[in-house]
Amino acid sequence: MNEQTFSLQLFPSTKSLPNLKIAGNIARNSNQLAIRYMLEGDLKEIAIAPPLNTPLRKDELWEDTCFEFFLSIKDSQLYWEFNLSPAGHWNVYRFDGYREGMQEETTFTTLPFSVHNQADGLALALDVDLDKIISPEQAIEIGITTVIKHRNDEATYWALTHQGAEADFHLRDSFIVKL
């Protein structure tokens, strides 16, 4: 099993709430991918949708607080964007190249993950079988990101690294986790 911890960085030109931290770990065991996010800090200033009994596949989750990761096959232009809302909504998109050919990845019909509100934070965990999109022997590269929407409607952008002049999670130079 290959496991790594991470800590996301705020995009430099945006202001964040004090004491906000986003960290976690990601692991791959054969073709099972496990990712855990932990959002810590003063969450009462963050717009977080409450968990729903019936989560749905939804578009444009990135317009609100959304945990995301981008997964690519090493040496391929093809990549996927996984969106996970604290409310339980989700989506997976496939791209043929940098922001090209975006379409829902229909091989995923559900994407069950858990969200736990804690006294000083929020934990989100996803375990996903990648067999539907890649083979176990293929090396993958991942960019881990989060959009945090504040109660005043301002959004902040968090990632492992920010390689562009603007916050752009699709830049392949940002897919720095190798599994």
The pLDDT value given to residue 10: 93
Instruction: Give percent of the chain above pLDDT 70.
Output: 97
Mean local confidence (pLDDT), 164-172? 94
Mean local confidence (pLDDT), 156-171? 94
The residue ranges of DSSP E strands in the chain, in sequence order, are: 2-7, 9-10, 21-29, 32-40, 66-73, 79-84, 90-95, 103-104, 113-118, 121-129, 140-149, 155-159, 177-178
| pTM exceeds 0.75 for this model | yes
Cα Rg of the chain (Å, integer):
15
Contact present, 130 and 33 (Cβ < 8 Å)? yes
Q: Residue 105 corresponds to which tokens in the numbers above?
A: 């990845």
Mean local confidence (pLDDT), 109-131? 92
Tell me how far apart the alpha carbons of residues 81 and 95 are, in angstroms, rounded to a whole number. 8
CATH code of 127's domain:
2.60.40.1190
Which structural domain, as residue segments, surrounds residue 45?
A: 2-178
Number of domains present in the structure of the chain: 1
